[in-house]
């Protein structure tokens, strides 16, 4: 039941997301070419770092935030069957975000903000970059508030009823985002902005990295949750079955919300500003947060198995062949789960304190996150776009075959590009370098992998262009749909009444408050009481 306001809001958000994505893929190809060192005429560290910073910001912040906002508006109206609360405010949020992106884009493209997407000090960007990034976050808070208000409105109108799963997950993501973004917001307001405006001579880099770590881990779950909504709410139905367990799905989202937040120090294992005990504590939490993903794998694969068996699949694995592989949603789910196996394995290696020393700051890390984010998550964003586009534009997709070609080529390209990165990382190649000549026999071993990475980059760019082309052509030239039925696709199977803790976030927000105070309180407060870099302060 999407009214035209929702359709427009969703489409406008999606076009910014996918426009940013398409552009970022061009930067990506340039980067693999430059980094390979095979084409001396394009070698330029200055251009490389401007490009990789723009690429990272476009992919990690623009694609994701706009996609999540657009999908959230769609999911809220479709699953709650109520219009958007305060559409004017929603458009204002969109405007603030877009303005922020433009403001940040100028210094990025001029090479005045080559600070990479993590913008760790002491490298400094032009102030407009930080102002733009802050506006993007502030605009997205408006979206989060609208989601939470819509949830409350629905609950008031339906006392005692169970919130539909897609909206439950969307609201979890809105809360997650408010908690998550607080870290980087504090870093921007109290450190980066005054420093870049010349109001402060220096800032504490250790504190900045700690505040960024607050944001850096849970933000990846902010990106991931829409992908899981696809897995739970669209895939079982698309496969011809139903969701194995609605309750397990809710539990997975709650566990992501609670465990995803207080564990950011696995990004700081090799940093000196936090002590070992805190890192160990965050490591335990990091292993705990793998549980909801394992639950998701179990529930979704069980749903697929039920569907495959209903379609006549026999034996231990016969159901896999019986699945409708030509359905874009099902194909995307299978490919995503396959990439999740290796991407998640890499995550567990990263999370292991001792093994992290082996891979930290090597090409392994971009291998990990391209596979799990650009692979698993973005593939499901594609599938959601293909699912929603006909409903948003009132037109049929122009070619089912090309959609499948696009999904397969993205999967193949991602495999070709990220496997060598994992190997290169183990061979000791640092991440975040442009083409560097080490003049060493040891680095000769890198060459074949660099060639593969270039080939992967090409395949990915072709696939990305095909994706944007398919959406554009469908919107402009697709054959009109005869009727638009409301619930098609989204699984809203009725659920029995659930206890409040599985249907509400009040308790969980309090639990998170306590966990955040426990895991970040002392590590942040110490900066105000200790002399950060005094060796005695660290007990050495």
**Smallest separation (angstroms) from ligand HAS to the CB of 286:** 5
Q: Would you call 496 a catalytic residue per the annotation?
A: no
In sequence order, what are the beta bridge partners of 430?
A: 362
The rounded distance, in Å, linking the Cα atoms of 335 and 446 is 28
* From candidates 20, 252, 261, 351, binder to ligand HAS by CB under 6 A: 351
- The partner in contact with residue 248, picked from Cu ion, ligand HAS, none with C-beta cut-offs of 5 to 8 angstroms by kind, is none
Does 347 help bind ligand HAS (rule: CB under 6 A)? Answer: yes
- The partner in contact with residue 356, picked from Cu ion, ligand HAS, none with C-beta cut-offs of 5 to 8 angstroms by kind, is ligand HAS
Does 250 help bind ligand HAS (rule: CB under 6 A)? Answer: no
Q: What is the DSSP letter of 535?
A: G
| Alpha-carbon dihedral angle through residues 111, 116, 122, 127, given to the nearest 10 degrees | 50
- The partner in contact with residue 121, picked from Cu ion, ligand HAS, none with C-beta cut-offs of 5 to 8 angstroms by kind, is none
Does 337 help bind ligand HAS (rule: CB under 6 A)? Answer: yes
Kindly report the number of other CB atoms within 10 A of residue 238's CB atom.
23
User: Is residue 521 classed exposed, middle or buried when 0-12, 13-18 and 19+ CB atoms within 10 A define those classes?
Assistant: exposed
Q: Which two tokens stand for residue 192?
A: 């980066």
**Cα dist from 353 to 267, 277, 360, whole Å:** 10, 11, 10
Number of residues that bind Cu ion (CB under 5 A): 1
Does 377 help bind ligand HAS (rule: CB under 6 A)? Answer: yes
* From candidates 50, 163, 255, 340, binder to ligand HAS by CB under 6 A: 340
Does 238 help bind ligand HAS (rule: CB under 6 A)? Answer: no
In sequence order, what are the beta bridge partners of 480?
A: 395
Does 35 help bind Cu ion (rule: CB under 5 A)? Answer: no
- The partner in contact with residue 172, picked from ligand HAS, Cu ion, none with C-beta cut-offs of 5 to 8 angstroms by kind, is none
The rounded distance, in Å, linking the Cα atoms of 296 and 308 is 18
**Smallest separation (angstroms) from ligand HAS to the CB of 476:** 32
Query: Of 18, 221, 228, 259, which one is the catalytic site residue?
Result: 221
Q: What is the DSSP letter of 433?
A: -
Asked whether the beta carbons of 406 and 424 are under 8 A apart, the reply is no
The rounded distance, in Å, linking the Cα atoms of 8 and 32 is 36
Q: Would you call 282 a catalytic residue per the annotation?
A: no
Q: Would you call 422 a catalytic residue per the annotation?
A: no
User: Which window, 33-41, 83-91, 217-225, 478-486, contacts ligand HAS (CB under 6 A)?
Assistant: 217-225
x/- letters, 94..133, toward ligand HAS (CB under 6 A): ------------------------x---------------
* From candidates 350, 379, 387, 526, binder to ligand HAS by CB under 6 A: 350
**Smallest separation (angstroms) from ligand HAS to the CB of 352:** 8
User: Which window, 7-15, 213-221, 356-364, 391-399, contacts Cu ion (CB under 5 A)?
Assistant: 213-221
* From candidates 35, 55, 209, 217, binder to Cu ion by CB under 5 A: 217
Residues 279, 351, 166, 303, CA torsion sign? negative
In sequence order, what are the beta bridge partners of 362?
A: 430
Residue 329 neighbours by CB under 8 Å, 6+ apart:
230, 234, 235, 238, 383, 386, 387, 489
The rounded distance, in Å, linking the Cα atoms of 406 and 12 is 23
Interface positions, 355-374, toward ligand HAS (CB under 6 A)? 356, 360, 365, 368-369, 372-373
Number of residues that bind ligand HAS (CB under 6 A): 34
Does 297 help bind ligand HAS (rule: CB under 6 A)? Answer: yes
Does 341 help bind ligand HAS (rule: CB under 6 A)? Answer: yes
User: Which window, 70-78, 188-196, 339-347, 480-488, contacts ligand HAS (CB under 6 A)?
Assistant: 339-347
- The partner in contact with residue 103, picked from ligand HAS, Cu ion, none with C-beta cut-offs of 5 to 8 angstroms by kind, is none
| Alpha-carbon dihedral angle through residues 407, 411, 417, 422, given to the nearest 10 degrees | 150
Distance of CA 420 to the CA centre of its chain: 22
Instruction: Judge if the upstream peptide bond of residue 122 is cis by omega within 30 degrees of 0.
Output: yes
**Smallest separation (angstroms) from ligand HAS to the CB of 377:** 5
Q: Would you call 353 a catalytic residue per the annotation?
A: no
User: Which window, 86-94, 231-239, 334-342, 409-417, contacts ligand HAS (CB under 6 A)?
Assistant: 334-342
Nearer residue to ligand HAS within complex by CB, 150 or 340: 340
In sequence order, what are the beta bridge partners of 395?
A: 480
Q: Would you call 437 a catalytic residue per the annotation?
A: no
User: Where do runs of H (alpha helix) occur along 311-359?
Assistant: 318-322, 328-351, 353-359
- The partner in contact with residue 422, picked from Cu ion, ligand HAS, none with C-beta cut-offs of 5 to 8 angstroms by kind, is none
Nearer residue to ligand HAS within complex by CB, 335 or 468: 335
Tally of residues, the chain: 540
What is the DSSP track for 6-46?
Answer: HHHHHHHHHHHHHHHHHHHHHHHHHHHHHHHT--GGG--HH
Query: Of 282, 370, 391, 422, which one is the catalytic site residue?
Result: 370
Asked whether the beta carbons of 366 and 431 are under 8 A apart, the reply is yes
- The partner in contact with residue 229, picked from Cu ion, ligand HAS, none with C-beta cut-offs of 5 to 8 angstroms by kind, is none
| Alpha-carbon dihedral angle through residues 453, 470, 69, 50, given to the nearest 10 degrees | 40
Q: Would you call 55 a catalytic residue per the annotation?
A: no
- The partner in contact with residue 301, picked from Cu ion, ligand HAS, none with C-beta cut-offs of 5 to 8 angstroms by kind, is ligand HAS
Closest residue by Cα to residue 260 from 352, 365, 173: 173
Q: Would you call 369 a catalytic residue per the annotation?
A: yes
The rounded distance, in Å, linking the Cα atoms of 215 and 223 is 12
Known catalytic residues? 217, 221, 368-370, 431-432
Contact residues toward ligand HAS (CB under 6 A) are: 118, 216, 220, 223-224, 266-267, 286, 289-290, 293-294, 297, 301, 304, 320, 334, 337-338, 340-341, 344, 347-348, 350-351, 356, 360, 365, 368-369, 372-373, 377
Contact residues toward Cu ion (CB under 5 A) are: 217
């Amino acid at each position: 039941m999407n009214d035209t306001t929702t359709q427009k809001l969703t489409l406008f958000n999606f076009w910014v997301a996918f426009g940013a994505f398409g552009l970022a893929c061009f930067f990506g190809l340039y980067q693999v070419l430059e980094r390979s060192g095979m084409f001396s005429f394009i070698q330029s560290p200055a251009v490389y770092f401007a490009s990789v910073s723009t690429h990272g910001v476009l992919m990690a912040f623009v694609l994701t935030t706009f996609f999540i906002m657009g999908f959230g508006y769609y999911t809220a109206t479709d699953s709650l069957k109520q219009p958007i609360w305060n559409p004017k405010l929603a458009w204002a949020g969109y405007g603030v975000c877009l303005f922020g992106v433009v403001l940040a884009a100028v210094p990025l493209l001029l090479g005045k903000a080559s600070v990479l997407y993590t913008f760790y000090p002491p490298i400094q960007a032009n102030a407009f970059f930080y102002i733009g990034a802050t506006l993007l976050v502030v605009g997205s808070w408006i979206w989060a508030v609208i989601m939470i208000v819509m949830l409350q409105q629905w609950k008031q109108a339906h006392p005692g009823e169970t919130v539909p799963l897609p909206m439950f997950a969307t609201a979890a993501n809105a809360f997650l985002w408010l908690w998550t973004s607080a870290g980087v917001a504090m870093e921007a307001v109290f450190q980066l902005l005054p420093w870049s405006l010349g109001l402060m001579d220096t800032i504490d880099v250790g504190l900045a990295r700690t505040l960024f770590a607050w944001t850096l881990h849970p933000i990846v779950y902010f990106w991931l949750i829409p992908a899981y909504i696809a897995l739970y709410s669209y895939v079982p139905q698309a496969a011809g079955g139903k969701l194995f367990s609605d309750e397990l799905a809710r539990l997975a989202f709650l566990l992501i919300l609670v465990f995803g937040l207080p564990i950011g120090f696995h990004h700081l294992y090799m940093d000196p500003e936090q002590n070992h005990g805190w890192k160990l504590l965050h490591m335990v939490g990091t292993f705990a947060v793998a549980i909801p993903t394992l639950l998701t794998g179990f529930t979704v694969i069980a749903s697929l198995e039920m569907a495959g068996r209903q379609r006549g699949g026999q034996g231990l694995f016969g159901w896999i062949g019986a699945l409708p592989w030509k359905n874009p949603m099902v194909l995307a789910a299978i490919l995503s789960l396959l990439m999740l196996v290796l991407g998640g394995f890499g995550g567990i290696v990263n999370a292991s304190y001792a093994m992290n020393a082996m891979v930290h700051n090597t090409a392994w890390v971009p291998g990990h996150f391209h596979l799990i984010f650009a692979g698993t998550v973005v593939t499901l964003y594609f599938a959601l776009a293909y699912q929603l586009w006909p409903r948003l534009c009132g037109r049929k997709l122009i070619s089912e075959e090309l959609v499948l070609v696009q999904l397969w080529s993205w999967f193949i390209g991602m495999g070709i590009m990220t496997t060598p990165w994992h190997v290169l990382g183990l061979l000791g190649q640092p991440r975040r370098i442009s083409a560097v000549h080490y003049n060493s026999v040891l680095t000769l071993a890198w060459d074949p992998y660099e060639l593969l990475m270039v080939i992967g980059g090409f395949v990915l760019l072709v696939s990305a262009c095909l994706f944007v082309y398919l959406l554009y052509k469908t919107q402009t030239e697709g054959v009109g749909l005869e009727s638009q039925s409301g619930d098609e696709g989204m699984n809203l199977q009725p659920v029995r009444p659930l206890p409040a803790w599985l249907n509400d976030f009040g308790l969980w927000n309090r639990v998170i408050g306590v966990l955040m105070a426990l895991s970040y309180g002392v590590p942040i407060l110490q900066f105000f009481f200790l002399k950060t870099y005094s060796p005695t302060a660290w007990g050495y």
